[in-house]
Chain A
Amino acid sequence: MEMPAPDPAILSRKAHLAARLSKVLPADALIVDEAETRAYECDALTAYKCPPLLAVLPRNTQEVSDVLRICHEEGVPVVPRGSGTSLAGGALPTADSVILGVARMNEVLETDYENRIIRVQTGRTNLSVSGAVEEEDFFYAPDPSSQLACAIAGNIAMNSGGAHCLKYGVTTNNLMGVTMVMMDGTVVEIGGAHLDAGGLDLLGVICGSEGQLGVVTEATLRILRKPEGARPVLIGYDSNEIAGSCVSDIIKAGVLPVAIEFMDRPCIEACEAFAKAGYPMCEALLIIEVEGSDAEIDAQLAVIKEIAQSHNPVELREARDADEAGRIWLGRKSAFGAMGQINDYMCLDGTIPVSSLPYVLRRIGGLSQQFGLAVANVFHAGDGNMHPLILFDANKPGDLELCEEFGAEILKLCVEVGGCLTGEHGVGIEKRDLMLHQYSAEDLEAQLRVKDVFDPQWLLNPAKVFPLSVTENRRAPALAAE
Chain B
Amino acid sequence: MMRPESEADLARMIAEAKGPLNIQGGGTRGMGVEGETLSLSALSGVELYEPGALTLVAKAGTPVAEIEELLAGENQRLAFEPADYRGLLGTDGTPTIGGVFASNISGPRRIQAGAARDFLLGVRFVDGAGQIVKNGGRVMKNVTGYDLVKLMSGAQGTLGVLSEVSFKVLPRAASMATVSVAELDLPGAVRVMSAALGSPFDVTGAAYDPDSMTSHIRVEGFAESVEYRCGELIKILGQHGTAERRDDTNDLWQGIRDVSAFHGRAGDVWRISVKPSDAVELAPRLGATALQFDWGGGLVWALMPEGRDLRIAMSGAGTGMEAIPGHATLIRASADTCARLGRFEPQPAPLEALNRGLRAQFDPRGILNAGLMG
Chain A residues proximal to chain B, CB less than 8 Å: 112-117, 137-138, 158-159, 161, 165-166, 169-170, 172-173, 182, 186, 188-190, 192-205, 207-209, 225-228, 247-249, 251-256, 292-293, 295-296, 299-300, 351-355, 380, 383-385, 418-427, 431, 435, 438-440, 442-444, 446-447, 449-454, 465-466
Instruction: Collect the chain A residues with CB atoms within 8 Å of residue B144's CB.
Output: 420-422, 427, 431, 435, 438-439
Interface assignment of B117: CB less than 8 Å from any CB of chain A: yes
Partner of A446, one of B148, B277, B373: B148
Q: Does B74 contact A (CB under 8 A)?
A: yes
B172-192 to A contact mask, C-beta < 8 Å, 1/0: 111000000000000000000
The answer to whether B172 and A453 have CB atoms under 8 Å apart is no
Contacts of A112 in B (CB 8 A): 277
- 11 A–B contact pairs at CB < 8 A? A186-B350, A205-B148, A252-B52, A254-B171, A292-B225, A299-B224, A422-B144, A424-B143, A427-B144, A439-B145, A450-B148
Q: Is the CB–CB distance between B151 and A205 below 8 Å?
A: yes
A256 nearest in chain B by CB position: B171
In the complex the two chains form, is B354's CB within 8 Å of A207's CB?
no
Which B residues fall within an 8 A CB radius of A? 50-55, 74-75, 104, 110-111, 114-115, 117-118, 127, 131-135, 137-151, 153-155, 158-159, 170-174, 194, 197-200, 202, 221-222, 224-225, 228, 273-278, 295, 298-299, 325-327, 329, 344-345, 347-348, 350-352, 354-355, 357-358, 361-362, 373-374
Chain B contacts for A114, CB-based, 8 A: 194, 198, 276-277
**In whole Å, how far is B208's beta carbon from the nearest beta carbon of chain A?**
15
How far in angstroms is the closest Cβ of chain B from A401?
Answer: 23
A385 to B148, CA, bound (A): 20
- Whether B151 and A383, one on each chain, are in contact in the complex, defined by CB atoms closer than 8 angstroms, is no
Most buried by B among A115, A165, A202: A115
Contact of B351 among A115, A190, A452 (CB under 8 A): A190
- Cβ of B148 and Cβ of A198 under 8 Å apart? no
Across-interface contacts of B132 in A (CB, < 8 A)? 442
Report B-chain residues with C-beta under 8 Å of the C-beta of A292. 202, 225
Indicate the member of A192, A431, A451 with the most B CB atoms within 10 Å.
Answer: A192
Query: Chain A's nearest CB lies how many Å from the CB of B353?
Result: 9
Contacts of A351 in B (CB 8 A): 139-142
Chain B residue at minimal CB-CB distance from A417:
B139
Q: Please state if B355 and A354 are interface contacts (CB–CB under 8 Å).
A: no
Given the complex of chains A and B, what is the CA–CA distance between A117 and B228 in angstroms? 27
Cα of A296 to Cα of B295 in the assembled complex, Å: 25
* Chain A residues within 8 Å of B329, by CB: 198
Residues of A within 8 A of B149 (CB): 204
A423 neighbours in B (Cβ, 8 Å): 139, 141-143
Tell me, rounded to whole Å, the shortest Cβ–Cβ distance linking A264 to chain B.
Answer: 19
| CB-defined contacts of B74 to chain A, threshold 8 Å | 252
Which of B138, B139, B199 counts the most chain A CB atoms within 10 A?
B139
B236: min CB distance to chain A, Å: 12
- What's the least CB distance linking A439 to chain B, in Å? 7
Contact, CB under 8 Å: B147 / A159: yes
Interface centre among B75, B131, B141, B325 (most CB of A within 10 A): B141
Cross-chain contact A116 with B327 (CB below 8 angstroms)? no
**Shortest distance between the CB of B136 and any CB in chain A (Å):** 8
Please list the 9 inter-chain residue pairs (A to B) with the smallest Cβ-Cβ separation, ordered nearest first: A204-B150, A248-B52, A423-B141, A254-B171, A453-B357, A198-B327, A193-B275, A383-B140, A449-B361
Find chain B residues with CB under 8 A from A117 CB.
275
Q: Which partner residue on chain A sits nearest B166 by CB separation? A: A418
Residues in B whose Cβ lies below 8 Å from that of A443: 133-135
Q: CB-CB < 8 A to B134: which residues of A?
A: 439-440, 443
Residue of A nearest to B51 (CB): A252
Bound-state CA distance A292–B222 (Å) is 12
Across-interface contacts of A385 in B (CB, < 8 A): 139-141
- Whether the pair B354, A201 counts as a contact (CB closer than 8 A) is no
Contact A452 B53 (CB under 8 A): no
In the bound complex, residues from chain A placing their C-beta under 8 Å from that of B275 are 115, 117, 192-194
User: What's the Cα separation between A116 and B197 when bound, in Å?
Assistant: 8
Other-chain residue from A161, A195, A251 in contact with B52 (beta carbon distance below 8 A): A251
Chain B residues contacting A466 (CB-CB under 8 Å) are 145
Answer whether A419 and B139 are a contact pair too, CB < 8 Å, given A194-B298, A200-B159.
yes
Query: Which residue of B has the minimal Cβ distance to A452?
Result: B361
B147 to chain A, nearest CB (A): 5
A296–B222 touching, CB < 8 Å = yes
In angstroms, how far is the closest chain B Cβ from the Cβ of A262? 14
Determine the distance from Cα of A112 to Cα of B155 in the docked complex, in whole angstroms: 30
- B325:A199 contact, CB within 8 angstroms: no
Complex interface: chain A residues within 8 A of B115 (CB): 195-196
- Cβ of A27 to closest chain B Cβ, rounded Å: 31
Supposing A293-B228, A453-B357 touch, asked if A205 and B373 sit within 8 A by C-beta, the answer is no
Q: Which residues of B contact A418 (CB under 8 A)?
A: 137-139
Please determine whether A442 and B200 come into contact, CB atoms closer than 8 angstroms.
Answer: no
Given the contacts A190-B351, A198-B327, A465-B145, A384 and B139 also touching, CB distance less than 8 Å: yes
Are the C-beta atoms of B373 and A200 separated by less than 8 Å?
A: yes
- Complex alpha-carbon distance, A451 and B145, angstroms: 11
Cα distance, A383 to B50, chains bound together (Å): 13
Provided the pairs A165-B141, A299-B225, A442-B133 are in contact, do residues A201 and B154 lie with their beta carbons within 8 angstroms? yes
Smallest Cβ distance from B102 to chain A, in angstroms?
Answer: 11
